[in-house]
């Protein structure tokens, strides 16, 4: 299927999703957001999918939301745009398979928010990240005030949001905004390496781990532990659990089926 401003490559259970609107540094306008929604909606139907790598074409991951589109919005339109972006980024955060952000360049504003909606972020040593919305007289609208504080802590998030400072990849790594920094030319190779490692694991258990973390971190510990126990129990009704434990006992590599 063709998507406006987005390219999708799917091979051996790994999807590479590339935002390609290079003339605008991959800025998020309504068309890009709609395409992102459609891409992840369709990928969720792929029974053999193991992992997704999300990146940007050219020199930018995503330079932000499209300022030209937003300039003349009234408050009603601005709220609708914000809620639309939040809904799509929630869709990515809740996607049943791991989503790796390959942050190849600028990840600013909406781009940083998009990267934060992924499960983890591998950054090029040339990447720059930040939430500079205060320079435009607005706040982040796609989850930046919430996900940033959850990732890096309240004080650092406030500093970045209040100053609008754009930071380099090494600083982003230091504060926990990205999880690894790698040479630009090796970025996709490293992301693919991680995706292939994940692809060899039990896909049901990987998905359940993601669900347990995403839900559990928002609720009290005792309730979260109960949820973990339920997911743990459910894995014992799967082929993958039987195969995984049998393979361990037989000292061989498990052949998971995602069943």
Residues belonging to the active site: 113, 133
Distance between CA 141 and CA 81 in Å, rounded?
8
Where is 181: in which H helix or E strand? strand 180-182
Residues ≥6 apart with Cβ < 8 Å to 20: 5, 6, 7, 26, 56, 57, 58
Q: Which conformational region is residue 242 in: left (phi greater than 0), alpha (psi within -120 to 50 degrees), or beta? A: alpha
Cβ-contact 129, 172 below 8 angstroms: yes
Q: Write down how long the chain is.
A: 259
Neighbours of 35 (CB within 10 A): 21
* Residue 236 exposed, middle or buried by CB count within 10 Å (0-12, 13-18, 19+): exposed
Please give the Cα distance from 85 to 28 (Å, whole number): 9
Cross-strand partners of 18: 7, 55
């Amino acid at each position: 299927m063709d998507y406006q401003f987005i390219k999708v490559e799917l091979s051996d259970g790994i999807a590479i999703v590339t935002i390609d609107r290079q003339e605008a540094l991959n800025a998020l306008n309504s068309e890009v957001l709609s395409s992102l929604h459609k891409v992840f909606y369709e990928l969720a139907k792929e029974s053999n999918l193991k992992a997704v790598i999300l990146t940007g074409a050219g020199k930018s991951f995503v330079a932000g939301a499209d300022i030209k589109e937003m300039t003349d919005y009234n408050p009603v339109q601005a709220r609708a745009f914000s809620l639309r972006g939040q809904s799509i980024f929630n869709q990515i955060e809740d996607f049943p398979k791991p989503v790796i952000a390959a942050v190849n360049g600028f990840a600013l504003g909406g781009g940083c928010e998009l990267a934060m909606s992924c499960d983890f972020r591998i950054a090029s040593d040339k990447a720059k990240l930040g939430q500079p919305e205060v320079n435009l007289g607005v706040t982040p609208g796609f989850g930046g005030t919430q996900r940033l504080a959850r990732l890096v802590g309240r004080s650092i998030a406030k500093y970045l949001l209040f100053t609008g400072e754009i930071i380099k990849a090494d600083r982003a790594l230091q504060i926990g905004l990205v999880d690894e920094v790698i040479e630009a030319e090796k970025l996709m190779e490293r992301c693919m390496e991680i995706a292939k490692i994940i692809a060899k694991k039990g896909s049901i258990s990987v998905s359940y781990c993601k669900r347990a973390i995403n839900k559990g971190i928002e609720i009290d510990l005792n309730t979260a532990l109960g949820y973990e126990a339920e997911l743990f129990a459910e894995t014992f009704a799967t082929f993958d659990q039987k195969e995984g434990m049998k393979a361990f006992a037989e000292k061989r590599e498990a052949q998971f089926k995602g069943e």
